[in-house]
Structure 1
Amino acid sequence: MTSSATFDSSQPLVIVAASGTGGDMYPFITLARGLQARGQQVLMLAPAYYTALVEAAGLPCRSFATPAAFQSMLDDPALWDERRGWGVLWNGLVPYLDALRELVRQLPAQQQCVVLSHPLLLPMADLARSVRPDLRIVGAYLAPANLCSSYDMLCAGSLSVPRWVPLSWRQGLWSMIHQHMIDPLMLPGLNARRNQHGMVPVPHFFQHMFEVPDASLGLFPEWYAAPQPDWPQSLRCVGFLPAESAVGAAALAPELEQFLAAGEAPVLFTPGTGHQHAADYFAAALQALQRLGRRGLLVTPHRAQLPAQLPANVMWLAHAPFSALLPRVAAIVHHGGIGTLAEALRSATPQLIVPFAYDQFDNGLRARQLGVADMLLAKRLSARGLQQRLQALLETPAVAEACRRHARTLKSAGGMAAILAQVEGALFAR
């Protein structure tokens, strides 16, 4: 699907390429809106599943993959398996690897363009260089785990890696993961497509991903993850994106306001917007709330994961603006998505992180190191585990103080204008 928007070919076009669940999409939509507000011509490239969301944000959109194909990926329980999830994501993307190349090929020859890309789409962006060799590409990393540092390796999936483990062992562990798990899965489809366009094959997927961008951005602050010797040399940390909805500020619904006013601050549970297989998670949440004698909010767009009847002191929400809601809750239990984690930090809300896959394990460990969170692996989830950890979080003064301290740090940081200035600097080599 091609956007009907027309662009001034005498001015640069910024293509913002993103994919993944809502937690992946919202930051890129926010960046695209910000760049557009600063006078840049912006076009988003995203799965057709998100076309309505992108257009509601006032952005022109070029889409790839059918909504049905993307929904099929979300329907696969393996998407949230720490070993098999990467395969589900990548196999869903391989048929559309030429999407950005085709978009660039169709632009007028005199149209200058630059690309701001989600890490997983960087190989797709590099394919576009077969038609425009001088294409400038900037990678934007949502979380430090995506950078695979051996120097700052806190975990390998759900396996924690203690600080005392020698560097050479950590390097060997990453090498084994890439050689035996990542590369055999990702490289055949990618190199087959590169071969079609006369491009040389790449031997290592993640190394290729790091080498594609002309510049790289970390969408997190240095106090959350300090730069490491094995990060891409060009990478600069710009900080967490300020709190704002991808489609603008939103108020709490009247029914939610009523619920919040009717009793003590509830505990909020969410496994993430894209998780459709969290029935056990919510069952454990309801039991933990009963044990604690606490009120609860269950946030998921997938109502079928919940019992038909909920207790009177528990409310279901399909969606909620966390920037407005989190200051009103006692704690949040979530999957460890970086956006949710950052919002909880900003609102000084204690966090219990239940990671399933991807960067969630690393994010959970970092939040725990900051003193604002505890962690319970999803594969060890139980009502008793939730109850015990939540009780400790809510009753420990040091947790509340750490939450307040990091909220002050975030509030004193530069705002969106400062972040966008750095993004523009990377895009236009200023």
Structure 2
Amino acid sequence: MKPRHIVFATVGSQGDLFPFLAVGRELAARGHRVTVGAHAMHRAAVAEAGLGFVMASGIAEPDDKAAFAAKAFHPLRGPRFVVRDLAAADVAASYAALAPVCRDADAIVTTTLAFAGQILGETSRGTWLSAVLSPSVFLSADDPPATGVAWFDRYLRGSPRRGAWLRRAAEAVTSTWTAPVRAFRRSLGLAPVSVGGDPFHRGQHARDGVLAMYSPLLGALPADAPARTTLTGWCRYSPADGLLDAELRAFLDAGSPPVVFTLGSAAVHAGEAFLRESMEAARMLDRRAVLLTGSPVLRERLGAWHESVFAVDYASHGALFERAAAIVHHGGIGTTHEALRAGRPSLVVPHGFDQPDNAARIARLGVGAVLPAWRYRADRAAVLLRGLLGEALTRDRAMRAADRLRVEDGARNTADAIEGAMHRGGRAP
């Protein structure tokens, strides 16, 4: 295929970025030009991957990351804040930044909250594809996402009718959140919503195909997935600096495999209590621990810690998790995949968004347990970790899951699907 220009438009944390860096490098190796539209904080990561970058967001990086994370991950108000007050409110600025880059794009690939990218894809004469990074995004009636409320989740999975009710209820509750997007569409002379519907739900799915960029281990495609959906497998990106620093390597080499505690790249900023409880859980277990604090400020606020604990702002998850005895994490889709790939048991502490569903899928695989964030306490974590670390069957299942995940090549499969869609040709609006 002759070289083409592919634009990725993504909104979110590293978990929403890294899969596109993996696919982008695969496409670049095939001779294509790739531009990634993302938040300014991702500029360096995109450059490191050797891809083009455009700042596709007018949202300023918060000065107080802890306060921002607490607001974004509030169990009731967090989703509305992220969707309405951040992503939807940013649609005009994002459109202005992306439009010049997309004029010569042969393909545009968008994510759930990339509302401006969705409009540009819909109105493009080129190929428009959308990406689904975790199973819950489909909001399937046949495979309803877990909410984190155990009895309710069991009820929902009892029949597709209940799952369909959840989908209708979610669409009704969140319909006002995308009002800024509908208003902006009208200013462009477009219908308030696309043919698919609300852009936060079914309207996000592109006309030329949907890329389900997660491992089949987490679930097969639901029967009610959009037409022309391809389950590609996980698109793993390992940064060039994915080696562990000397001090952390020395700590790992000096004793038994530790329990690793992390809340990813976003929720961690509101995680001081989580980290303190985690240190106490490790003490109760008489286990070594590695804490990923997300920032030097939070690391310093923890004060002194025992020599059996190592605290660091960030470490490559892939390299670190392979050295762990178990991993305690928030259930973000990228971290969930890395924990599965490491073949270590997980204790998942979901905070919001897709995390309760990812956590439930880990539990159904038999490779981990779930402890909701609001219930996270040292004694509870210690009990669950003791069970996970002592169960040979859980460890065996985790290793078998790792063997399956390591042979997936989601980046290649996704690049094949994008090239195939471009070969078929986009459709004029």
TM-score, normalised to structure 1's length?
0.89
Name the count of aligned residue pairs.
Answer: 414
Instruction: Give the aligned partner of residue 48 of structure 1.
Output: 40
Deviation at 1:287, TM superposition (A): 1.0
State the distance in 1 between where 2:116 and 2:108 align: 11
Give, as a single letter, the amino acid of the residue that structure 2 aligns with 1:200: A
State the distance in 1 between where 2:294 and 2:145 align: 32
State the distance in 2 between where 1:287 and 1:386 align: 10
Instruction: Give the aligned partner of residue 27 of structure 2.
Output: 35
Q: Sequence identity of aligned pairs in percent?
A: 26
CA separation of 1:301/1:73 partners in 2, compared to 1, >3 Å: closer, same or farther? closer
Q: Is the 8 A contact 1:47 1:70 kept in 2?
A: no
Instruction: Give the aligned partner of residue 320 of structure 2.
Output: 325
Which of 133, 137, 141 matches 2:128? 137
Mark the runs of 5 or more structure 2 residues left unpaired by the alignment: none
Greater displacement, 263-272 / 415-424: 415-424
Deviation at 1:70, TM superposition (A): 5.3
RMSD over aligned Cα atoms? 2.4
Deviation at 1:23, TM superposition (A): 1.7
State the distance in 2 between where 1:72 and 1:205 align: 30
Instruction: Give the aligned partner of residue 216 of structure 2.
Output: 222
Instruction: Give the aligned partner of residue 226 of structure 2.
Output: 232
Deviation at 1:67, TM superposition (A): 6.6
CA separation of 1:98/1:236 partners in 2, compared to 1, >3 Å: closer, same or farther? same
State the distance in 1 between where 2:403 and 2:46 align: 32
- 2:7 is paired with a residue of what secondary structure? strand
Greater displacement, 30-39 / 292-301: 30-39
Q: Is the 8 A contact 1:350 1:400 kept in 2?
A: yes
Deviation at 1:133, TM superposition (A): 4.0
State the distance in 2 between where 1:60 and 1:26 align: 14
Give, as a single letter, the amino acid of the residue that structure 1 aligns with 2:131: A
- 1:251 is paired with a residue of what secondary structure? coil
Deviation at 1:348, TM superposition (A): 0.7
State the distance in 2 between where 1:65 and 1:328 align: 37
- 2:242 is paired with a residue of what secondary structure? coil
Which of 57, 72, 81 matches 1:79? 72
CA separation of 1:266/1:424 partners in 2, compared to 1, >3 Å: closer, same or farther? same
Mark the runs of 5 or more structure 1 residues left unpaired by the alignment: 1-9
- 1:39 is paired with a residue of what secondary structure? coil
Instruction: Give the aligned partner of residue 254 of structure 2.
Output: 262
1:185-224 mapped onto 2 (5 Å cutoff): 185-186=177-178, 188-202=179-193, 204-224=198-218
Greater RCO between the two (CA within 8 Å, min separation 6)?
Answer: 2
Give, as a single letter, the amino acid of the residue that structure 2 aligns with 1:282: L
Q: Is the 8 A contact 2:27 2:34 kept in 1?
A: yes
Structure 1 position 371 matched with structure 2 position 346: no
CA separation of 1:319/1:108 partners in 2, compared to 1, >3 Å: closer, same or farther? closer
State the distance in 2 between where 1:270 and 1:239 align: 24
State the distance in 2 between where 1:362 and 1:108 align: 34
Greater displacement, 290-299 / 197-206: 197-206
Structure 1 position 174 matched with structure 2 position 167: yes
State the distance in 2 between where 1:360 and 1:105 align: 32
State the distance in 2 between where 1:74 and 1:424 align: 41
Deviation sequence 1:385-415 (CA, Å, 0-9, x none)? 1000000000001101101111121233346
State the distance in 1 between where 2:252 and 2:31 align: 40
Deviation at 1:196, TM superposition (A): 0.5
TM-score, normalised to structure 2's length?
0.89
Give, as a single letter, the amino acid of the residue that structure 2 aligns with 1:79: A
1:29-428 mapped onto 2 (5 Å cutoff): 29-66=21-58, 68-69=60-61, 75-76=67-68, 77-90=70-83, 91-98=85-92, 101-102=95-96, 105-106=99-100, 111-121=104-114, 123-128=115-120, 132-158=123-149, 160-162=152-154, 165-180=158-173, 182-186=174-178, 188-202=179-193, 204-242=198-236, 244-245=237-238, 247-248=239-240, 250-275=242-267, 276-306=269-299, 307-414=302-409, 416-428=411-423
Instruction: Give the aligned partner of residue 7 of structure 1.
Output: none
CA separation of 1:74/1:62 partners in 2, compared to 1, >3 Å: closer, same or farther? farther
Greater displacement, 377-386 / 61-70: 61-70
Give, as a single letter, the amino acid of the residue that structure 2 aligns with 1:421: D
CA separation of 1:96/1:149 partners in 2, compared to 1, >3 Å: closer, same or farther? same
CA separation of 1:105/1:139 partners in 2, compared to 1, >3 Å: closer, same or farther? closer
Q: Is the 8 A contact 2:235 2:409 kept in 1?
A: no
CA separation of 1:325/1:108 partners in 2, compared to 1, >3 Å: closer, same or farther? closer
